[in-house]
Chains A and B, each alone.
Chain A
Amino acid sequence: AQSVSQHNHHVILSEAASLELGCNYSYGGTVNLFWYVQYPGQHLQLLLKYFSGDPLVKGIKGFEAEFIKSKFSFNLRKPSVQWSDTAEYFCAVNAWNTGNQFYFGTGTSLTVIP
């Protein structure tokens, strides 16, 4: 079975600091990779996704993620965080062609201090 690990459970940053959230998955086959975000009081929404091609993908609100196949990683980055980035971030994986059976990490809670 697939699994997803997010090693940072709680991250606190000051505005303008750079962000990197780790995500590692375990699965031997081809995968699709996603980052979802849950802002306080809002639904989960997609930040970005990777299926194939350029391993550096850009998402909404200045976020990007890099897929490193050899490390089974899909880390999320943002060069300069804002207070409005305070949220919970979830990494998710599914196998290439098995429909919508997603495996989510346990989430990273990000607090940005103004």
Chain B
Amino acid sequence: KAGVTQTPRYLIKTRGQQVTLSCSPISGHRSVSWYQQTPGQGLQFLFEYFSETQRNKGNFPGRFSGRQFSNSRSEMNVSTLELGDSALYLCASSGSGSAQETQYFGPGTRLLVL
């Protein structure tokens, strides 16, 4: 099976712009989670989607949003970018979204905000 894929891999934006990141989960997986990874904070949970519904949400401002399509692919959007949004954004998928399941991570999208 192909792994989790994320596009684009690298992105440079300027403050105030918006950005959309894409994640394709492993075939058959229905749960997709998004994380922000920064050197000082580690991985911070953004949100999880399951069957096109947001099931869990982390403690991030409303500028961060997402959605999931019927084929389980997910997009994450960040509006009005700030310098502090520079980070590696990781997507992870699992089958049924059970808390005991292994999450499979993608390579990430590295976002730089200037």
A residues with CB within 8 A of B: 1, 32, 36, 43-46, 49, 51, 90, 92, 94-107
Complex partner residue of A102 from B41, B45, B108, CB under 8 angstroms:
B45
B45–A101 touching, CB < 8 Å: yes
22 contacts between A and B (CB under 8 A): A32-B99, A43-B108, A44-B92, A44-B105, A49-B100, A51-B100, A95-B99, A98-B99, A99-B50, A99-B56, A100-B31, A100-B48, A100-B55, A100-B99, A101-B48, A102-B33, A102-B43, A102-B103, A104-B35, A104-B45, A106-B41, A107-B43
Given A43-B106, A44-B90, A107-B42, do A99 and B100 touch, yes or no (CB 8 Å)?
no
CB distance from A47 to the nearest CB of B (A): 10
A43 and B43 alpha carbons, distance in the complex (Å) = 13
A-B CB pair tally, cutoff 8 Å:
68
Does B17 make an interface contact (CB < 8 A)?
no
CB distance from B18 to the nearest CB of A (A): 25
B105–A99 touching, CB < 8 Å: no
Complex partner residue of B99 from A90, A99, A104, CB under 8 angstroms:
A99
Query: Number of B interface residues, CB 8 Å?
Result: 31
Given A32-B99, A43-B106, A104-B35, do A98 and B42 touch, yes or no (CB 8 Å)?
no
